């Protein structure tokens, strides 16, 4: 397989493959950042089918479990259906935030990238 070709493992589109397991990053884009000790993770679906799948599978509980031991507070998911996106607000996520934290990523810039590597289980629409 050439470097430029994708295996199914990396990409869960086209339609016949949507029922299979895939990485979040194969059907969405993400960006994250801080506001004090709070973290925002924005996730934008690549199309309406991806949005429907993410709506069912990428829940606040999924994100909280993925970052267990790192995010100490509540994770709240906000649906943004008009732009086929989600915003996750994570409380007590940055060990005090900015200048107070001794963590490597004090502004939470790597959280979206980490979330994009997570696998979603098989799904039938």
pLDDT tens digits for 78-120? 999 999 999 999 886 665 556 655 444 544 567 899 999 999 9
pLDDT class of 67 with cuts at 50, 70, 90: confident
Mean pLDDT confidence for 22-34: 91
Neighbours of 24 (CB within 10 A): 27
pTM above 0.85, yes or no: no
What is 28-97+104-118's CATH number? 3.30.70
* Cα–Cα dist 81/95, whole Å: 31
Longest dimension (CA), the chain: 48
- Over residues 57-80, the mean pLDDT reads 93
Give the model's confidence band at 55: pLDDT under 50 very low, under 70 low, under 90 confident, else very high: very high
């Amino acid at each position: 397989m050439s470097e430029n070709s994708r295996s199914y493992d990396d990409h869960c589109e086209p339609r016949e493959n949507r029922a299979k397991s895939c990485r979040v990053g194969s059907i969405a884009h993400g960006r994250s950042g801080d506001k004090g000790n709070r973290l925002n993770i924005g996730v934008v679906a690549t199309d309406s089918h991806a949005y429907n799948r993410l709506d069912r599978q990428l829940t606040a509980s999924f994100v909280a479990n993925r970052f267990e031991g790192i995010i100490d507070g509540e994770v709240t998911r906000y649906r943004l259906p008009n732009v086929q996106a989600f915003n996750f607000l994570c409380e007590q996520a940055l060990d005090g935030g900015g200048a107070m934290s001794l963590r490597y990523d004090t502004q939470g810039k790597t959280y979206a990238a980490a979330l994009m590597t997570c696998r979603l289980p098989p799904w039938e629409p």
